[in-house]
């Protein structure tokens, strides 16, 4: 480990433990800033370099061949402050479930569904996370985003974020969420706790446990009222496996790292899922998981089929 500008820098760092899927080769350089100021310093220093942003590592597949570009890990950006009784400003690296607990302590409702999500708050905003009638777009007021190309910081209001189904302006234009501000509603503590318990129970019953490494939902649902997991289950996908990657026996839209899976194992299994649904039902599934790092030729060809550019 070395430091640059007093910012922690790790060389040839294995990224498996930085992701919920527990897959990934080495990063040539991994920087771990402690605050927004350090991120800006890094961006200034590395302004001619391609940067990969890594948060809590959910909803991503890191290449088993590693990442040649510089990686900035945002997991230490976890400060928050209440601007008034119902408004909170939160940095992007904080874990989503932790935000839900903080709001419960203040009897604030609107983000209860985050309790069961292992990713970062920044990722939740970027992907416009939602569940059971609650969504990021319902309560977000604004977000500060860093343009990774120009190093400019923008304050984007709700409409400017262009939040849609599992996407946003931020992702499409390669920005990094630095923090976000949410307007919540006061509610009874017990009612908020009950909703959080519902989300936890639902996930425990229907999703693979976090002790089974996974990256969350693999593909978006192809149409309103049409669920990818249900389509795959109807085709008997619970028995599908490629190398060390397998489809969860609890939910067919989840891939688990069953036995030292590689990024190619996961990619091949995703290809089988995608091709089977297209052949059987005519839907062209779009990946909810994002691939980062250096792909093999086979992986590059596979991911071209179900990635939105």
| Judgement on whether residues 88 and 184 belong to the same structural domain of the protein | yes
Name the H helices within the chain.
36-45, 96-105, 121-126, 136-139, 158-161, 169-172, 189-206, 228-234, 263-281, 297-303
Tally of structural domains, the chain: 3
Are 107 and 185 found together in one domain?
yes
List the CATH number of the domain containing 47.
3.30.43.10
The answer on 63 and 87 residing in a single domain is no
Active site residues: 166, 217, 288
109: domain CATH number is 3.30.465.10
User: Is pTM beyond 0.85 here?
Assistant: yes
205 occurs within a structural domain: no
**What was the pLDDT predicted at 4?**
60
Q: What is the pLDDT of residues 204-259, one digit of tens each?
A: 898 998 789 999 999 999 998 999 999 999 999 998 999 999 999 999 999 999 99
Closest listed residue to residue 61, CA positions, set 292, 307, 308: 292
179, 228: one domain: no
Query: Is there a single domain that holds both residue 48 and residue 95?
Result: no
* 90 domain-assigned: yes
pLDDT at 151 over 90: no
Three-class secondary structure assignment of 40-108? HHHHHHCCCCCEEEECCCCCEEECCCCECCEEEECCCCCCEEEEECCEEEEECCCEHHHHHHHHHHCCE
Do residues 181 and 88 make contact, with C-beta atoms less than 8 angstroms apart?
yes
Computed over its alpha carbons, how large is the radius of gyration of the chain? 19
pLDDT > 90? residue 170: no
Which CATH number goes with the domain that contains 288?
A: 3.90.78.10
SS3 content of the chain, % helix, strand, coil (to 5): 30, 30, 35
- Identify the domain containing residue 44 by its residue range: 2-73
Residue 36 falls inside a structural domain: yes
For 248-303, the pLDDT digits (tens) are: 999 999 999 999 999 999 999 999 999 999 999 999 999 999 999 999 999 999 99
């Amino acid at each position: 480990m070395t430091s640059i500008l007093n910012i922690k820098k790790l060389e040839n760092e294995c990224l498996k433990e930085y992701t919920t899927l527990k897959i990934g080769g080495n990063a040539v350089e991994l920087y771990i800033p402690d605050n927004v100021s350090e991120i800006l310093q890094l961006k200034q220093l590395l302004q001619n370099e391609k940067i990969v942003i890594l948060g809590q590592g959910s909803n991503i597949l890191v290449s088993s061949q590693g990442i040649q570009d510089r990686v900035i890990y945002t997991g230490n950006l976890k400060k928050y402050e209440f601007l008034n009784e119902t408004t909170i400003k939160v940095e992007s690296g904080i874990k989503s479930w932790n935000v839900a607990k903080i709001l419960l302590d203040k009897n604030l409702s609107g983000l209860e569904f985050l309790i069961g999500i292992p990713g970062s708050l920044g990722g939740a905003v970027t992907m416009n996370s939602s569940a059971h009638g609650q969504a990021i777009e319902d309560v977000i007021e604004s977000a500060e985003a860093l343009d990774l190309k120009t190093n400019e910081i923008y304050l984007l209001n709700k409409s400017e974020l262009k939040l849609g189904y599992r996407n946003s302006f931020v992702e499409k234009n390669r920005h990094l969420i630095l923090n976000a501000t949410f307007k919540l509603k006061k509610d009874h503590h017990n009612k908020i706790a009950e909703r959080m318990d519902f989300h936890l129970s639902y996930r425990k019953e229907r999703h693979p446990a976090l002790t089974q490494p996974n990256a969350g939902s693999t593909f978006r649902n192809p149409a309103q009222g049409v669920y990818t997991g249900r389509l795959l289950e109807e085709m008997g996908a619970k028995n599908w496996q490629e190398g060390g990657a397998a489809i969860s026996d609890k939910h067919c839209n989840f891939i688990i790292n069953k036995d030292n899976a590689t990024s190619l194992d996961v990619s091949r299994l995703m290809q089988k899922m995608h091709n089977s649904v297209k052949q059987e039902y005519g839907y062209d599934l779009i990946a909810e998981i994002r691939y980062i790092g250096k792909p093999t030729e086979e992986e590059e060809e596979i991911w071209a089929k179900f990635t939105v550019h």
